[in-house]
Structures are given as structure tokens and as C-alpha cells.
Amino acid sequence: MRRTVGPWHDRPVATETGSEFLQLHDSVLEKLGLDIVGGTVPAGTRISADDVAARFEVSRTVVREVVRVLQSLGLLTVRRRVGITVQSSDQWNSLDPLVIRWQLAGPNRAEQLSILSEVRSGIEPLAARLAAERATPEQCGQLTAAVIGMSATSRAADSDAYLAHDSDFHRTLLAASGNPMLRSMSDIIVEVLAGRTRHDLMPHRADPEAVRLHGLVASSIQAGDAAAAEAAMFEIVTESSTAMLANDAGTEQDPT
């Protein structure tokens, strides 16, 4: 028997075990996170665990674990006698890769791209400068290998293969800085790169200049030229920002 509860319709509640639990957990987390970040469920909304369980046809155990994750991200607060409440965006952990992913999927993508580009411009050029002073021979080799991989897959720049090489480059760059705080930002940067591919902000063929600049960063780091590495990395971030915003607006520029 069906009944309407809150903003959602009740459905038979399921029970799950093992891998099914994890699959349902991830699915509900993704959908509810997108709803909150995208504004479908606005700040101040009180959420019933029973309603969520009914909407997604999952057990309260799944809902409880999802709420815990969203609470840790600052999207929800749970209080006695009040229940589950959606938090305003100033309470979110905006640097968490999950929150970044949901924001890039939302209606304010252009604003989020600008914000993330500002963050990148303060992180990656500095990381490149430090890497020129601190990178190990192994890390230099990894940077070069990533550039070679990008070049080899550049005719399918919107593919997972190109993304993997590009992500390897940026992860290695941040690690090569020798600064643990900068290294900890790698998941954030990689989520931005993944978002470009996920939301069709990458061209099918990579801009040759993009690959060249990545190669210049790698060679400058290997040569110990901190200024050149920093300048090339800043150019990558700047061109990437311009191109992504243009592509998001429907124009035909290629992101770096």
C-alpha cells in the first residue's frame, strides 16, 4: 500500500546486504548530495529518514550511513528534537572532492569553475616552482611519462585514457613539491580535471599547446628552472580556466 509522506512518495522499503548495500549507499549519496548542492532541497529543509528510505526504496540503515557522510561534509546537521536539516552552503566542506563534483554538476557550474581556477592558480604554479627544487629523479620521470601519455592519447582528449595521464601529471606535480599540504590538494585538482571530461568541457582532440605546456613544466622541473616551471604552470591554469568557461557557455575554445 502506498502513501504520500513529505515531499516524496513512499515505496516498499528494501533491506540490503554486502555489495548491494554499498551500491545503494553510493547511489543514494550521489542523488541526495546533488539535490542539496543543486538547490532542489534548499537550506533549512528538514528531512525525514523515513521519507528518504521510501523515496529510494532502501533501508533506514542505508539512509543512516548516507546522512553520516553528508553530515561530515557539512551538508546536513542532525540534532535531537529537530532531526535532519539541510545546511546553508557556507557550512559545506567546499574543498571535498564530492562537494566539488556535485557543484560542477549543478546550475552554478560557471561560478564554481571560476572559484576552482582561482584556487588552482594559487596552488599549482607554486607546486611547480617547489618541484623544480625538490623533485626526485623518479618524479621527473613520472612527469615525463605522463606528458608522453597525454601526447599519445591527444586525439581522444575527452577519453578516460587521456584523463588518467593528465591526472597522473598533476598528482605527481603536487607530490614533487615536497609540501604535504600541497600534496593533499591532489584529489581536488583531479576532481576538477574529471569534471571537465564528465561535463563535456574537453575537446575531442587536445590542444597541442596544452600538451606542449605540460611538457615545458616537466622539462623545466627536470632542469631545476623554478621560474620557468612556475610560469608555464600558471599559463596552463589560466588558459584552462578561460577555455572551460567558454566551453561551458557553448563556445568552441579548447581547455588546456
Segment 99-110, tens digit of pLDDT: 999 999 999 898
Decide if 254 is inside a domain.
Answer: no
Decide if 26 is inside a domain.
Answer: yes
Decide if 172 is inside a domain.
Answer: yes
Cell 528518504 sits on residue: 52
Asked whether 165 and 210 are in contact (CB, 8 A), the reply is no
Claim to verify: residue 79 and residue 159 sit in the same structural domain? no
Claim to verify: residue 203 and residue 138 sit in the same structural domain? yes
Q: In whole numbers, what is the pLDDT of the chain averaged over residues? A: 90
Asked whether 188 and 200 are in contact (CB, 8 A), the reply is no
Tens of pLDDT along 85-103? 999 999 999 999 999 999 9
Number of domains in the chain: 2
For residue 254, the 8-state DSSP code is P
Q: Which of 64, 91, 118 is the last residue of a domain?
A: 91
For residue 253, the 8-state DSSP code is P
Identity of residue 34: L
| pTM over 0.85, yes/no | no
Claim to verify: residue 159 and residue 233 sit in the same structural domain? yes
Q: Which three cell numbers stand for residue 174?
A: 603536487
Query: Of the candidates 103, 84, 105, which has an alpha carbon nearest to the alpha carbon of residue 95?
Result: 103
Identity of residue 192: V
- Calpha distance 19→74 (Å, rounded): 27
Q: Which of 44, 65, 91 is the last residue of a domain?
A: 91
Claim to verify: residue 101 and residue 144 sit in the same structural domain? yes
pLDDT at position 16 is: 60
Asked whether 83 and 46 are in contact (CB, 8 A), the reply is yes
Query: Of the candidates 128, 127, 123, 106, which has an alpha carbon nearest to the alpha carbon of residue 195?
Result: 106
Claim to verify: residue 77 and residue 119 sit in the same structural domain? no
Give the mean pLDDT of 42-68.
Answer: 96
Q: Which of 91, 126, 143 is the last residue of a domain?
A: 91
pLDDT at position 203 is: 84
Identity of residue 170: H
pLDDT at position 13 is: 41
Residue 254 predicted with pLDDT over 50:
no
The pLDDT-based confidence of 246 (bands split at 50, 70, 90) is confident
Give the mean pLDDT of 197-226.
Answer: 94
Q: In percent, how much of the chain has pLDDT > 70?
A: 91
pLDDT at position 252 is: 40
Supply the range of the domain harboring residue 29.
Answer: 4-91
The enclosing domain of 47 has a CATH number of: 1.10.10.10
E strand intervals along the chain: 4-5, 8-9, 46-47, 76-79, 83-86
Report the length, in residues, of the chain.
Answer: 256
Give the mean pLDDT of 133-150.
Answer: 98
DSSP-derived pairing of the beta strands 76-79 and 4-5: unpaired
